[in-house]
């Protein structure tokens, strides 16, 4: 399984963030056009449309989106639903 984080921040600030938290997975910068964020329907239109809403997507080996979970700002997202679905997909293969 590969975890990727994507945000509208510059890759420079993402590096600081990743080093600060010692993240073991890559962060992708969607700055400045937020192309991927828009394609995935994750644009934060309620605020300023320059940032992404918090979302989690699960994509299988064939590139099919199997699940989408919204996250709330300042709330810990419980990863059990994603892990459960990932395990189900993995078990089928």
Partner 1 sequence: MAVSVIVALMAAVNAQTAERPALLELLKALNVSAYPSLMHPPEFNGLTADGQNVSLASLSCRVLVLSFWATWCLECRPEMAAFERLHREFSVKGLAVVGINAREGTTTIREYAKDLRLTFPLILDSTGKINSGYGVIGLPTTFLIGRDGRPVALAVGPREWDGKPGRALIGALLAERAVLKERR
Q: Of 9 and 53, which has the nearer Cβ to partner 1?
A: 9
**Shortest distance, position 2 Cβ to partner 1, whole Å:** 7
Binding site for partner 1 (CB under 8 A): 2, 4, 9-17, 19-21, 26, 28
**Shortest distance, position 79 Cβ to partner 1, whole Å:** 21
Tell me the C-alpha distance between 30 and 9, whole Å.
7
**Shortest distance, position 80 Cβ to partner 1, whole Å:** 26
Tell me the C-alpha distance between 19 and 10, whole Å.
14
Q: Of 32 and 80, which has the nearer Cβ to partner 1?
A: 32
Peptide bond into 32 cis (omega under 30): yes
């Amino acid at each position: 399984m590969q975890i990727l984080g994507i945000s509208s921040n510059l890759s420079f600030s993402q590096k600081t963030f990743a080093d600060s938290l010692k993240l073991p997975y890559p962060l992708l910068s969607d700055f400045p056009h937020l192309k991927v964020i828009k394609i995935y329907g994750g644009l934060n239109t309620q605020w300023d449309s320059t940032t992404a809403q918090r979302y989690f997507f699960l994509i299988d080996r064939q590139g099919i989106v199997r699940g989408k979970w919204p996250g709330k700002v300042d709330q810990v997202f419980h990863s059990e639903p994603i892990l459960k679905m990932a395990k189900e997909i993995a078990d089928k293969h």
